[in-house]
Structure 1
Amino acid sequence: MYLYTDNPLKFAFSKTEFDSSSLTDEPGFGIMGVPFDSTTTYQPGARYGPLFIREASYNFEKYNLFLNKRLNANVYDVGNLEAIPGNFQKTCLNLKSVTSSMLDDGMIPLTIGGEHSISYGVINALNIQDATVLHFDAHMDLRDKYMGEKYSHATVMRRIHDKKPLKIIQMGIRSSSQEETEFALENGINYYTPQKIKNDLSQIKKIIHQIEGPIYVTVDMDVLDPAYAPSVGTPTPCGISPQELESLIFCLEGKEVIGFDVVEVSSTSIGDITSINAAKVLLDFLFLQ
């Protein structure tokens, strides 16, 4: 049983009904929207991300030219979480409950946000050990507190790191406090800047190819340069391109991905390039299945 708000718009390529008995040996993927942006500190609007990502998904084909593959994944859209505006703790509890229900039904959670703090709730439900968190972002999000808050879009990876022994690999990082950089270096958190990705893409792809065991993927859309994703909570210049992000997502083929989220989309209109690129990130992953 899912806790969700009324949301007539579904992800374009999801099945209309979910029946756990219909799942085969192939993995099923459950898409859940989380319209929550209460800890946003610069550009609000991520609560509308699930709506406009779903809308943007109708712009795409069920065939991927570069992979020469049709979309064959079992995809179900369970609607939007009942997020509690201004209350991270209650929203996180709802998120953990719904994610747990999806896992019980044999679905791998694909979460669309919403601000980045929601990743913590999903990973809490997964209760994963000895896994790798592959984190695409302009920011490290490793602060212990931000503006006095321990649970925030700017502290989410620090809170996830508290759930040791998770390994964290960060891609696209170009903004950090001194505290965060020192914490990353002291705790074996490897991060790769856009310059590193652009100058040695083949080596960065090799890093992802070499990840062993379960992987949780979190994509903050501000990993892209604002030229490609202006409608995000904290836009930061000099990011990676959609082509580079696509290449890195394709490296997940054959990997054991146990969860995937796309967050920080603050689009407020149909056709916004940020939501279009966000929908493509999800589809790129689903085409690998």
Structure 2
Amino acid sequence: MQQHTPTSDSTLLDQGTVINPLKLSGLATLMDEVGISHSNSLDSLICASQQWRRHPGQERWEMQDLPLTADQHLAVMGHLKALNFVQELLPSSTNYEYSLFLGATVPGMERRLNHLARLWLEGVRFNKIVFLVGQRPLKEGIDNIDSLIANSIGEQARGKGARTARPITETEGAMQLFATMKLPGEMKKLPVEFVDSPRVWKQNHWQRANTRDTLIEWMKAVPAPGRTLVVSDQPHAHYQLEVVKQELPEAFQPEVTAQTADEGTRIILYLDALALWLHNLQSRIN
């Protein structure tokens, strides 16, 4: 059994609301690197960072990347690593009540499931897997639906009873993915819950459920408290953990695990995740 040593938290806050000056300075330097004005205060940095956020109704794959030089790219990545937005995050324990699996594109969920399976093989245990997913319509070029269907057909041919119907939503994609992926046998026998969070109409577009919405939906069922391992990936892990901590009672003791960020991750996606984390962190400061 492999011993896991958790990666340190990236928070700017030490002991409640005391600001970590070293990390605050690193955040300020990152903004200087990409030409964003600020006054060096945390409130100013949080406000300035929000220009990196997605527009309402916009998905991550629709965002345009920043036009950085090679030197700027290298410098920004250095600051992101210092804030722990790139590195793998490992669990601190080997025993949890819940594995709280956060939804994503189908390839993203496959990546997260592979990470969770690796942890299982290394001795990490959980009693139930909860998929926090929703009714986001799947998108052909983003969710690799044809590959998912091909894998389903392959599993059915091997007599494993996998569904071959074309999935329409993220929830259906998660169900089909879990049914068809090669995962550790005992892990696949665990109780599994799919929380199908609805979309809502926002003036002129359908707004899919975000991380907070899916947590609120799960809490409606009043699950029994228990230690919780949140399954994300980089660079989204820190803001998602912050939201989880805000929405779940303390008795759930949530912590996050995440794979190292994919080498092809665009800078704007790191910055969007950083801005979301700072936005959610602000509620603990004010």
Q: Which has the larger radius of gyration?
A: 2
Q: Same fold (TM over 0.5)?
A: no
TM-score (norm 1): 0.39
TM-score (norm 2): 0.39
